[in-house]
Amino acid sequence: MLKVCALYKAIKLPELIYNTRIDVQNKMTTRTDLRNLTQEEIVDYVESLGQPAFRGRQIMAWLYRPGISEFSQMTDLAKDFRRILSEHAYMSSFQNPLIERSKDGCVKFGFRLDDGKMIESVLIPEPDRNTLCVSSQVGCAMNCSFCLTATMGFIRNLSPAEIVNQVCAVGDFLRAESKGNLIGSDRVTNIVFMGMGEPLNNLDNLLKSLSILTEQRGLDLTNRRITVSTCGIVPQMQILGENSTANLAVSLHAVDDETRDKLMPINRRYPVAELIEACRTFPMAKRKRIMFEYILLKGINDSDAEAHKLAKLLRGIPCKINLLPYNESPAIPYKSPSYSRILSFQKILMNAKYSVFVRSSRGSDISAACGQLAREENSDIS
Ligand code: SF4
Is pLDDT of 376 > 60? no
Please tell me the distance between residue 84's alpha carbon and the centre of ligand 1 in angstroms: 42
**Amino acid at site 44:** D
| Cα(137) to centroid(ligand 1), Å | 10
Reply yes or no on whether 106 is catalytic. no
pLDDT bucket at 287, cuts 50 / 70 / 90: confident
35-49, 172-186, 187-201 — which is least confidently predicted? 172-186
Fold category of 4-90 in CATH: DNA polymerase; domain 1 (1.10.150)
Region 100-117 average pLDDT: 94
Binned at pLDDT 50, 70 and 90, residue 369 comes out as low
Atom of ligand 1 nearest to the CA of 137: 7
Share of the chain above pLDDT 70, in %: 85
Ligand 1 atom having least distance to the Cα of 229: 2
Check: CB of residue 137 under 8 Å from CB of residue 198: yes
Question: What are 112's strand-pairing partners?
Answer: 118
Residue 157 makes CB contacts below 8 A (sequence gap 6+) with 136, 137, 138, 197, 201, 202, 205
Question: Average of pLDDT values for 112-138?
Answer: 95
C-alpha 216 to ligand 1 mean position (Å) = 31
Rounded to 10°, the helix 203-214/160-177 angle is 40
231, 267, 327: residue to mutate for ligand 1 pocket, most atoms within 8 A of CB: 231
- pLDDT at site 26: 39
For residue 326, report the distance from its CA to the centre of ligand 1, in Å.
Answer: 14
Q: Residues near ligand 1 with C-beta < 6 Å?
A: 140, 142-144, 147, 149-150, 197-198, 231, 371
pLDDT at 235 > cutoff 70:
yes
**Phi, psi dihedral angles at 175 (to 5 degrees):** -65, -40
For 280-296, what is the mean pLDDT?
Answer: 94
Q: Whose CA is nearest to atom 7 of ligand 1?
A: 197
What is the predicted pLDDT for the residue at 196? 95
Backbone angles phi, psi at 26, to 5 degrees: 70, 20
In tens, the pLDDT along 132-166 reads: 999 999 999 999 999 988 989 999 999 999 999 99
Q: How many A from CA of 96 to the centre of ligand 1?
A: 27
- Please report the atom of ligand 1 found closest to the CA of residue 146: 1
Catalytic one of 133, 140, 144, 370: 370
- Atom 3 (ligand 1) nearest CA: 198
Catalytic residue (one of 120, 198, 215, 306):
120
Q: Choose one of 138, 144, 378 to mutate for the ligand 1 pocket test, by most ligand atoms within 8 angstroms of C-beta.
A: 144
- State which of 147, 322, 327 you would mutate to test the pocket of ligand 1, scoring each by most atoms of that ligand within 8 A of its C-beta: 147
Over residues 168-193, mean pLDDT: 82
Catalytic residue list contains 328: no
Q: In the predicted model, is pLDDT for residue 13 greater than 80?
A: no
Q: How far is the CA of 142 from the centre of ligand 1 (A)?
A: 6
From atom 6 of ligand 1, which residue's Cα is the shortest distance away?
Answer: 147
Q: What pLDDT shows up at residue 166?
A: 98
Domain boundaries, the chain: 4-90, 98-380
Distance separating alpha carbons of residues 250 and 237, to the nearest angstrom: 10
Rounded to whole angstroms, what are the CA distances from 4 to 45, 46, 59, 77, 88? 14, 13, 21, 19, 13
381 or 60, higher pLDDT: 60
Instruction: Return mean pLDDT, the chain.
Output: 88
User: pLDDT at position 372, please?
Assistant: 60
What's 98-380's CATH class? alpha beta
Residue 19 has pLDDT above 50, yes or no: no
